[in-house]
Amino acid sequence: MIRVQLTAASAISKVMAGESLTSVLQQTWRANPVLSKQQRGAIQDLSYGVLRFYGQLSAILDLLLERPLRNKQLQYLLLVSLYQLQYSKAQSHAIVNKAVLASRSLVQGRRMQGLVNAVLRNFIRQRENLLKKAAESDTGRYSYPQWWIDKLRSQYPHEFRAILEAGNKHPPMTLRVNRRKTNAGDYCQLLAEKSLCAELINHDALHLKKAVAVEGLPGFGAGLVSVQDAGAQFAAQFLDVHDGMRVLDACAAPGGKGMHLLEVADVMLTLLDNDAGRLALIQQNLTRLQMTAERLVCGDASRPESWWDGQPFDRILADVPCSASGVVRRHPDIKWLRRENDLVKFATNQQAILNALWKILNKNGKLLYVTCSVFAEENSMQIEEFLKHHSDAMPLPLAEATLSKGQLLPNIQHDGFFYSLLQKI
């Protein structure tokens, strides 16, 4: 446990210094190849858990300390240990003892080791009172930055609590059934044969009752299913693609929505992304699903003159870069890495992409604007701004009861997304 605690604390430290958790964990696995599968799993669980409840845990630690710690590594070790005491099934005495031993590699002298012991044991004794006091502040209660909470409270006065709480839940494992190779009913039978239970959520989406490694999914390697959030699966449905159409998936990596389009119809699909490394992920998906695309292109969606072949597209999927505020339950580090002024930068880029892609859309063609954000600055406000300057753009209704003006709010079944379908008239 000592190594797990120290490694998780180091990962949290790097994230709070500005690195993404995904990148940090990949670096950790490369730097520590001797870690067992169980150790990796524990480190990942602790890292995700601490970041998920960082606001609450930090508020509790502040209450337990007389003054802030100068040693940041020791601070993060205490946060990891507090998370274990509050949310894990490990024995309290083992957590405390191992944390004290772990602190020896971070500090010299018994005084600080005694502080670690005292802080954690005081939490155990005063748990209920500390949890109550921590919840007196918004950040301690919801575990989000104050600006994030204030913005959602302003934009969603009736739903903001549910949105915040949904983002702190463990995400479900959702599958997308490849309708070219099977159907939801038949695939549920294959799952049952492996003692796996699933629930049909929507169209091709199956929600697994218990997450498993993809290698344990029947037919995964043969392309029978892919892992994709149920909310993300609406994209292929809304874009209304048909056989023979020229279709562009802009900002396509890692390719989930594009692969879904190929499963729905025989289209001439161009997959675009500005990262050559991420294009390799798209190719891996194409290979596994035994599908082909018209083109894989490395390029900037806001500058089609550098990659476009001059032939307009009948359909364009504009899944634009965004704050990812709707998927924080899968990426809890986003809450602490984002800054409020980031929304301005994202909005500027999003508008540039919209304007550029509109020029290469065929007459009567349709463009689906998509984000995985819940902030209006990236969603409804973007479309309002775009429509002011494009009289040839007509918004089309989306036939989905759970959407409110295009916004799909996160809940137990899916992440948060925004969809807007525009037709060039």
Residues 270 and 299: beta-carbon distance below 8 Å = no
Same domain, 121 and 183: no
Token duo for residue 139: 């950040």
Going by C-alpha positions, the residue among 217, 214, 183, 212 that lies closest to residue 200 is 183
Whole-structure pTM value: 0.92
Q: The sheet that has 198-202: what strands, in order across it?
A: 198-202, 205-208, 173-177, 225-227
Task: Walk along the chain (425 residues) in steps of 10 and give the mean pLDDT of each run.
Answer: 93 96 95 92 96 98 92 94 94 92 78 88 96 97 98 97 96 95 94 93 91 94 96 95 97 94 96 92 94 95 95 97 96 97 97 97 97 97 96 89 80 95 96
CATH code of the domain containing 280: 3.40.50.150
Gyration radius of the chain's alpha carbons? 24
pLDDT value of position 252: 93
In whole angstroms, what is the distance from residue 176 CA to residue 80 CA? Answer: 35
Q: Do you know the residue count of the chain?
A: 425
Domain count, the chain: 3
pLDDT value of position 105: 85
Residues 175 and 256: beta-carbon distance below 8 Å = no
Same domain, 255 and 386: yes
Number of Cβ atoms within 10 Å of the Cβ of 39: 15
Same domain, 214 and 241: no
Same domain, 86 and 57: yes
Strand boundaries in 251-293, DSSP class E: 268-273
CATH code of the domain containing 99: 1.10.940.10
Strand boundaries in 178-266, DSSP class E: 198-202, 205-208, 225-227, 246-250
Same domain, 185 and 126: no
Residues 187 and 206: beta-carbon distance below 8 Å = yes
Token duo for residue 135: 């919840």
197 is catalytic: no
SS3 of 197, please?
coil
In whole angstroms, what is the distance from residue 398 CA to residue 419 CA? Answer: 8
**Domain assignment present for 153:** no
| Residue bearing tokens 């991420």 | 278
Going by C-alpha positions, the residue among 249, 204, 197, 201 that lies closest to residue 226 is 204
**Domain assignment present for 276:** yes
| Residues β-bridged to residue 270 | 248, 295
Token duo for residue 343: 């929304």
E strand or H helix at 210? none
pLDDT value of position 170: 92
Residues 51 and 336: beta-carbon distance below 8 Å = yes
| Residue bearing tokens 């023979």 | 244
In whole angstroms, what is the distance from residue 71 CA to residue 68 CA? Answer: 9
SS3 of 364, please?
strand
User: Domain range holding 181?
Assistant: 173-227
**Domain assignment present for 6:** yes
Q: Distance of alpha carbon 25 from its chain centroid, rounded?
A: 15
Cis peptide before 254 (omega within 30 of 0): yes
Same domain, 217 and 286: no
208 Cβ contact partners less than 8 Å away, ≥ 6 residues apart: 172, 173, 174, 175, 191, 196, 197, 198
Same domain, 288 and 385: yes
